[in-house]
Chain A
Amino acid sequence: MIQMTAIYVLWLREMIKFVRAKSRIIGAIAMPVFMLVFLGLGFRRVEFPGLPPEIGYIQFLVPGIVGMTLLFTGAFTGISVLMDRQFGFLKEIMVTPASRISIVLGRIAGGATTSIIQALVMLFLSVFLGFVLPSPLMIAGSVIIMLFISINFICIGLILSSVMKDMHGFNTITNFIIYPIFLLSGALFPVQNLPVAIRIFSYLDPLTYGVDALRGLLIGYSVLNVYSDFTIILVTSVILVSASGYSFNKGEKI
Chain B
Amino acid sequence: MNTINLNGLTRRFGDLVAVDNVTLSVESGEVFGLLGPNGAGKTTIINMLTTLLAPTSGNAIIAGHNIKDDPEGVRRSIGIIFQDPSLDTGLTGRENLNFHAMMYGIDVQERKKRIAEVLSVVGLVEKADVLVENYSGGMKRRLEIARGLIHYPKVLFLDEPTLGLDAQTRRKIWDHIKNLNKKYAMSIILTTHYMEEADYLCGRIAIIDHGKIIALDTPAGLKTRLEGDVVTLGFEGKTELFIPALKEKPWIREVLLHNSTLTITALDGEKRIPDLFVLAQESGINITSVNLRKPSLEDVFIHLTGSSIREEDGTLHSHMHAGMRRRMMK
- Residues on A lying within 8 angstroms of B by beta carbon are 5-6, 8-9, 12-13, 16-17, 20-21, 87-89, 91-99, 251-252, 254
Q: Is the CB of B104 within 8 A of A88?
A: no
Q: How many A-B residue contacts, CB cutoff 8 Å? A: 69
Residue of B nearest to A91 (CB): B86
Sample of 15 more A-B contacts, CB < 8 Å, known A87-B86, A88-B85, A97-B75: A6-B103, A16-B91, A88-B87, A89-B87, A89-B88, A92-B82, A92-B87, A93-B103, A95-B75, A95-B80, A96-B75, A96-B100, A97-B104, A99-B72, A254-B47
Which 7 A/B pairs are nearest by Cβ-Cβ distance?
A: A88-B86, A96-B103, A92-B86, A97-B76, A97-B75, A9-B102, A88-B84
Flag whether B50 is at the interface (Cβ < 8 A).
yes
Q: Quick one: given A20-B90, A96-B104, are A87 and B75 in contact (CB under 8 Å)?
A: no
Q: Quick one: given A251-B54, A254-B52, A254-B53, are A13 and B88 in contact (CB under 8 Å)?
A: yes
Q: Is the interface of A mostly helix, strand, loop or mixed?
A: helix
Q: Is the CB of A5 within 8 A of B105?
A: yes
Chain B residues whose CB sits within 8 angstroms of the CB of A91 once the complex forms = 52, 82, 86
Q: Is the CB of A89 within 8 A of B72?
A: no
Chain B residues whose CB sits within 8 angstroms of the CB of A94 once the complex forms = 52
Q: Report the minimum CB–CB distance from A190 to chain B (whole Å).
A: 42
Chain B residues whose CB sits within 8 angstroms of the CB of A99 once the complex forms = 72
Q: Is the CB of A92 within 8 A of B100?
A: yes
- Complex-state Cα separation, A92 to B104, whole angstroms: 13
Flag whether B78 is at the interface (Cβ < 8 A).
yes
Chain B residues whose CB sits within 8 angstroms of the CB of A92 once the complex forms = 82, 86-88, 100, 147
Q: Report the minimum CB–CB distance from B142 to chain A (whole Å).
A: 16
- Residues on B lying within 8 angstroms of A by beta carbon are 47, 50-54, 72, 75-76, 78, 80, 82, 84-91, 95, 99-100, 102-105, 147
Q: Is the CB of A251 within 8 A of B90?
A: no
Chain A residues whose CB sits within 8 angstroms of the CB of B78 once the complex forms = 95
Chain A residues whose CB sits within 8 angstroms of the CB of B52 once the complex forms = 91, 94-95, 251, 254
What are 23 A-B contacts defined by CB distance under 8 Å? A5-B102, A9-B99, A9-B103, A13-B99, A16-B91, A17-B90, A87-B85, A87-B86, A87-B88, A87-B89, A89-B87, A92-B100, A94-B52, A95-B51, A95-B80, A96-B75, A97-B72, A97-B75, A97-B76, A97-B103, A98-B103, A251-B52, A252-B53
Q: Report the minimum CB–CB distance from B118 to chain A (whole Å).
A: 15
Q: Report the minimum CB–CB distance from A203 to chain B (whole Å).
A: 40
- Complex-state Cα separation, A202 to B222, whole angstroms: 69
Chain B residues whose CB sits within 8 angstroms of the CB of A251 once the complex forms = 52-54
Q: Quick one: given A6-B103, A98-B103, are A17 and B91 in contact (CB under 8 Å)?
A: yes
- Complex-state Cα separation, A238 to B91, whole angstroms: 32
- Complex-state Cα separation, A5 to B98, whole angstroms: 12
Q: Report the minimum CB–CB distance from A9 to chain B (whole Å).
A: 5
Chain A residues whose CB sits within 8 angstroms of the CB of B88 once the complex forms = 13, 17, 87, 89, 92
- Complex-state Cα separation, A188 to B181, whole angstroms: 63
Residue of B nearest to A254 (CB): B52
Q: Report the minimum CB–CB distance from B108 to chain A (whole Å).
A: 12
- Complex-state Cα separation, A93 to B80, whole angstroms: 11
Residue of A nearest to B52 (CB): A254
- Complex-state Cα separation, A99 to B75, whole angstroms: 10
Q: Report the minimum CB–CB distance from A172 to chain B (whole Å).
A: 26
Q: Is the CB of B90 within 8 A of A88?
A: no
Chain B residues whose CB sits within 8 angstroms of the CB of A254 once the complex forms = 47, 52-53
Q: Is the CB of B99 within 8 A of A12?
A: yes
- Complex-state Cα separation, A94 to B88, whole angstroms: 14
